[in-house]
Structure 1
Amino acid sequence: MSVQPSLQTIAAPVGRTPSRWQPVQYDQLPEIPLVGEVDVAPIMPGLDLWDCWPLAHADGRTACLDGRTWWFFLSAPCFTDPVQRHDVARIRLLSRGEDGWRDHGNALPDGLNPGTREWAGCAVLMDDGLSVSLFYTVAGRRDAPFSYEQRLFEVQGQWGEGGPGAWQEPREIVAADGVRYVSSRQEIVNPAPGTIKAFRDPAWFRDPATGEAHIVFTASAAWTSDPHNGLVGMATRTPQGWRLDDPLVEAIGTNNEMERPCLVWRDGHYYLFWSTQRHTFAPGAVAGPNGLYGMVADAVTGPWRPINGSGLVAPNPKGEPGQTYSWWVTGEGDVWSFIDYWGMEGRALADHPDLVRSHFGGTPAPVFILAFDGDRVTVA
């Protein structure tokens, strides 16, 4: 079945036309390993942890400092309904070594964030081995009505005893222009899941071919009225500051959310990965499973072609379609995520509200590895 584009969809209004993601079928692929009860071991009792990313070198390698890797998680108290976590999210810093996990508290000091919530991003240890940049999503505005507005910020700090710190004032790096990227305060009351518009999830990438530093991010196309208007956008660092560039990939008429995008370079190929869920596909589109998706190119600006022919890289198991989410691919090809609703055994939350809390993981999922072979990438 082919997907019919929206009647309101037109070409991107300026610059480079983004590559289109519009799958027509999905092949059978190796699934993400099944999550079992032994895997659901909270590392922070009393807190839910979800979207995560490591402190990484500027070239993408995961940093190991003082014998430990350093991880940033979104965190919130364990509410009866885990959906509430998004409205109070803070970034939590943890480290991992031979003795397991250590908690280092909230990554940023109280009162530093110019918004009301801290959402996902990335963290970079610069080449001097001391300077640290945390790129993250500022959700809402301090001292303003509650909203789902999202802005991209960088906060600079220093590596020191006990991890990154000495954070300076956050700075907005680029703003949605309302032409390529939707710009809106989004003062919405109880929006349906998967319907809010995006300008979030900044992820650093330094192009080995040019040395240029880029940020890719989740966005929404401003040049269409189609409600399913997901994009992966890009910004580039220049001597004058960050420049908002044209989108890399669009899914207009296909999907509303291409979340947590990240770029990995391997064997001369550029791999752009993102996460999405079945419920964010457009009616009439060929809906895929909750899973890790991606495209591959020979240059960071594209053109991009779907990995594995469809874009699907790693699906959740058919019997547990919602067990994990928000996949982050490290420079080493390891894939991190969090345990979402596990062990459902075909049961729906709407029919079993008692499972909303008891079967939400809120902790890191088992890590798996990707196997790269040109345009084909699968669970190893």
Structure 2
Amino acid sequence: MSAAPFITLESVEKSWGDSRGVAGVDLVIGRGEFVVLLGPSGCGKSTTLRLIAGLETPTAGRILIDGQDVTALPPAKRGLSMVFQSYALFPHLSVAENIVFGLKVRRLPRAERQARLGQALRLTGLEGYEDRKPAALSGGQRQRVALARAIVAGHPLCLMDEPLSNLDAKLRHEVRQEIRQLQQDLGMTVIYVTHDQTEAMGMADRIVLMKDGRIEQQGMPEELYECPVSAFAAGFVGSPPMALLPAERLPVGLREGAASGGAGVLIGVRPEDLRLAGTGEPSLPVQITGIEFLGGETLVYCAGEAGALIAKLPGRPALVRGGKAALTWEAASRHLFDAADGRRLSDPLVPEPKASGGRAEQRASGTGKVPLAHRSLAGADHP
């Protein structure tokens, strides 16, 4: 990562009696990075964000922002803004009054408040809504007000905790693109918490995947997708998820590279890497339990001796619910994991991704290249 370290967590822990929310997290975030803390409920991502914000105090470890130890400082002295899931707008105040409320509390001159307000309204597309009350706004517009309030604060760091979870799918897609564009335009460092891996994949320079209060894996979205370090990472990142099949229950021709007949090994295959088998190819017989036609592709839900799996097939294949099919995959597309502890196993057929910086580094270098492993993300090259 070429960006200068801006936020550093050193062996940070947080416990409440016998309950541990964060278990020794070490993390460095560069200035101007968009970092997503991703994971299931209870993994420690929101607690980590609250520790950075100063809303929680670590049980152990240190937190530094821009080289300053802020571990014991209150939120107001950490130089950051927050955007919450609930928007936290004052219902009796207008859009403009909500946006500049914090600036009035800090007693900034009226002329500066108005200048910042005008910029924030332009950036968030809220011009003309200044006098409306929150009740007269849509969910997406309310979230834009919360974003505008973070912008006017002028802080270089913005923390976002599940900010889009109250929006419908279409609005989530629109607003997340707006957030990403704002972050790039303003050069802010953003730490964004979500359990939605689609949000994480679409927005982040770097994803930090958490499990049980620890960092399971971190890297560019493509790296987590291409080379998951564990069965947990493989199953969490990707929609639909990777199929994880016991190797010993697969036909011999499909467990190539799995030692000892596949005992104790899981073979992982992405839905888009599954295809209908041709005549004479090694294949996995399955029964079709469901079909979802999505236009350019079809999700085919299957059950076989090795377990359930989902195939993402192009177009509209001639398959029917309750029917049978034979699936196969290329050896270079599969992943091997230890069935006991879930760790990734050495796989000579699948090259590991090269070490690289984040997308911010690629933009700075002007290369625009993203190193991939053996396939491009979702079947397409990404700049």
Q: Which has the higher helix share?
A: 2
Q: Which has the higher strand share?
A: 1
TM-score by length of structure 2 reads 0.25
TM-score by length of structure 1 reads 0.26
Which has the larger Rg? 2
* Greater RCO, CA 8 A, separation 6+: 1
